[in-house]
Amino acid sequence: MKALSKTKSTVRLKKSDYQPHWLVYIESYPVFIEGISQPQRVREYLNRSVTSVVWDKKHTARTTETSKSFKPKRDENGLIVCKSEADRETILYADGVRKLRQREYDNADLYNETEAAQAELKKRTQQNAIEYFVELVKKRHANNSNSVRVNWSRTVDLIKLFAGENLPFSKIDSRFVENFKNFLLTAPNGKKKAGTISQNTAVIYFIIFKSMLKQAFIDDFLKIDLSGKTKGIKKRETRREYLTIEELNKLADTPCKHEIIKNAALFSALTGLRHSDIKKLKWSEILIENNKARLNFTQQKTKGVEYMPISPQALKLCGQQKQPDSLVFVDLPGSKMSLSYALQVWLKNAGIKKKITFHCFRHTFATLQLAGGTDIYTVSKMLGHTDVKTTQIYAKVVDEKKDLAANAIKLNINN
């Protein structure tokens, strides 16, 4: 039994079968009893009676009986007035019981709200986190690039592999998060690949997992923010492959079966733009004033608004100017597989044996800019990096080239 809001307990009298006694009881209303939809009037008889009640002649009762035609008179404290000392003691006792019941109902209101909140939280924590994560991917990344959606979906697949198809939020705690982090370091590759994922790939998946946990905490599926309590996986430095000026010129002189891929790749090498940004680039985002061109666009990955001047050669690779809403590089493949095959054929025909992906043209831009003397802050801004530390990896490549250059001249000097 639980009280509704504003439940009130009152000391009342009922005519006894034995004259002139009046039975004393506590009436509480409204009270909700589980299983009954309508609020109830609860009466609690105290096995006490009074005989010397003073009636209030100004307030009539509901009944028409002469002895019950008036309500009992009450003093300034709301107590029923009686003439005899014994009856007054009975009324004081009844009022004490009334106060106790009133506190119980008042507290019940508070407890019911707390219980409701706890019940709702318990209900949420029993929901399947896998289903939540799947819907989160659809909701958050419906319009994002294919690679972003793939990474988020792959993260969900790895969570399933680790924890099964049914994962209540109640089972996700600090230990679970740490165990999943360790699992990622030895997690298998996709269906078509053998071996395990790289450490840097595990870094990406764990960052995504922490983002999912953060959103689950915001949506009240988790009691604590586990994402803020867990350290990420340390990223391992990898070699950023790039092309030299000589190799770029070889590629420029070598025909490519897919001219749009060739132009887009060389455009990336001249501007540092990612494939995702080049693919969605529109003519309205290329501004030409006084024979100078610049880009004004929003990065697909970081959502940052970028302003970047581009060279006449980069503009020439864009081809004939079209309508503002038209794509600059029409029909540029979005599939990594399609891009990779076309690039490998083109590179082979140019006599270049390096393992080059489309993203390597962005690496090439950064490395050649730094090698050419452009300061790292400017290069960082041109790449759209939010932190100059991200750009420093290219500076290390340049330092290696300097070390090699320092030892390139050998003299016959006797020790």
The per-residue pLDDT string of the chain (415 residues; one tens digit each, 9 = 90 and over) reads: 444 458 899 999 999 888 889 999 999 999 888 788 888 999 999 999 999 999 988 877 655 444 457 899 999 999 999 999 999 999 999 999 999 999 888 877 665 665 666 667 777 888 899 999 999 998 887 665 566 788 899 999 999 999 999 999 989 999 999 999 999 999 988 766 678 888 889 999 999 999 999 999 998 888 889 988 888 888 776 667 888 899 999 999 999 989 999 999 999 999 888 888 889 899 998 888 877 888 886 666 666 666 788 889 999 999 988 999 999 999 888 777 778 888 999 999 999 998 888 988 988 888 888 888 888 788 787 777 777 676 666 766 666 555 555 555 656 665 5
Range of the domain at 360: 245-406
Looking at the domain assignment, is residue 412 inside a domain? no
> How far is CA 176 from its chain centroid?
18
- At 327 the three-state DSSP class reads strand
Residues 113 and 145 in one domain: no
Say how far apart CA 277 and CA 45 lie, in whole Å: 80
179-203 burial: b if 16+ Cβ within 10 Å, else e: ebbebbeebeeeeeeeeebeeebbb
Residue where a domain stops, chosen among 125, 150, 165: 125
Say how far apart CA 3 and CA 260 lie, in whole Å: 73
Say how far apart CA 284 and CA 411 lie, in whole Å: 57
Q: How many CB atoms within 10 Å of residue 21? A: 15
pTM exceeds 0.75 for this model: no
Residues 330 and 186 in one domain: no
Say how far apart CA 376 and CA 240 lie, in whole Å: 16
**Cβ atoms of 286 and 295 closer than 8 Å:** yes
Say how far apart CA 13 and CA 27 lie, in whole Å: 10
Looking at the domain assignment, is residue 353 inside a domain? yes
Residues 271 and 368 in one domain: yes
Cα end-to-end span (Å), the chain = 100
Residue where a domain stops, chosen among 92, 125, 158: 125
Residues 119 and 133 in one domain: no
Beta strand 40-50 with 55-60: parallel, antiparallel or unpaired? unpaired
Residues 391 and 275 in one domain: yes
Ramachandran quadrant class, 331 (left: phi over 0; alpha: psi -120 to 50; beta: rest)? left
Say how far apart CA 317 and CA 91 lie, in whole Å: 98
Looking at the domain assignment, is residue 413 inside a domain? no
